[in-house]
Amino acid sequence: MPNQSPIVGVVMGSQSDWPVMQHAVNQLDAFGVPHEARVVSAHRTPDLLFEYAEQAAARGLRCIIAGAGGAAHLPGMLAAKTTVPVLGVPVPSRYLKGEDSLLSIVQMPKGIPVATFAIGEAGAANAGLFAVSMLATDHPGLAEQLARFRAEQRDTVLAMQLPPSS
């Protein structure tokens, strides 16, 4: 894509979320989507959260992928402060394994939507792919890349061999 300023923001509540959230970034890298990645915490840096959300549209962000764990208020609070679409990724938590994160993100009140993905790496990767899909509606080159990706995935599955049964 010609424009190198970020059009997708990837934010997470802590550096400890990176092993999961890097899977979203990897997808954006794979499709050549300009993006940025930052730590923004709903609870520890609330002022930064507000600033990030308030500036998102003017900075040209087309969507924000937000991952957090536990009392995962980051995606919902971003969505409360911007109309830029927010894609929420529940990060696995230590004690409740991310079910807390999932419920915190998915149970938004009517009127403030967050598109919520699966817990963990698959959710992060799918959030990245979903961002690509949204952008592809305006970028034919991205749509072609996505079609190739799907075809390669299909061919990989069709070529799978199971071991002989004993």
**Binds ligand RP5 by CB under 6 A, chosen from 6, 9, 69, 76:** 69
Using CA atoms, how far apart are residues 114 and 105, in angstroms rounded to an integer? 7
The distance of closest approach from Cβ of residue 28 to ligand RP5 in the complex, given in angstroms and rounded to an integer, is: 19
Does 14 count as an annotated binding residue? yes
Using CA atoms, how far apart are residues 46 and 16, in angstroms rounded to an integer? 18
The distance of closest approach from Cβ of residue 128 to ligand RP5 in the complex, given in angstroms and rounded to an integer, is: 18
Does 44 count as an annotated binding residue? yes
Residues 6+ apart with CB under 8 A from 31: 132, 142, 145, 146, 149
The yes or no reply on residue 68 touching ligand RP5 (CB under 6 A) is: yes
Q: Kindly indicate which of the ranges 62-70, 78-86, 109-117, 126-134 contains the residues binding ligand RP5, using the contact rule CB under 6 A.
A: 62-70
The yes or no reply on residue 91 touching ligand RP5 (CB under 6 A) is: yes
Using CA atoms, how far apart are residues 22 and 18, in angstroms rounded to an integer? 5
Residues 6+ apart with CB under 8 A from 151: none
The distance of closest approach from Cβ of residue 98 to ligand RP5 in the complex, given in angstroms and rounded to an integer, is: 9
CA 155 to chain centre: 26
Q: Kindly indicate which of the ranges 28-36, 64-72, 104-112, 136-144 contains the residues binding ligand RP5, using the contact rule CB under 6 A.
A: 64-72
Q: Kindly indicate which of the ranges 8-16, 28-36, 76-84, 131-139 contains the residues binding ligand RP5, using the contact rule CB under 6 A.
A: 8-16
The distance of closest approach from Cβ of residue 70 to ligand RP5 in the complex, given in angstroms and rounded to an integer, is: 5
Residues 6+ apart with CB under 8 A from 55: none
**Binds ligand RP5 by CB under 6 A, chosen from 17, 52, 66, 89:** 17
Asked if 11 and 78 touch (Cβ cutoff 8 Å), the reply is yes
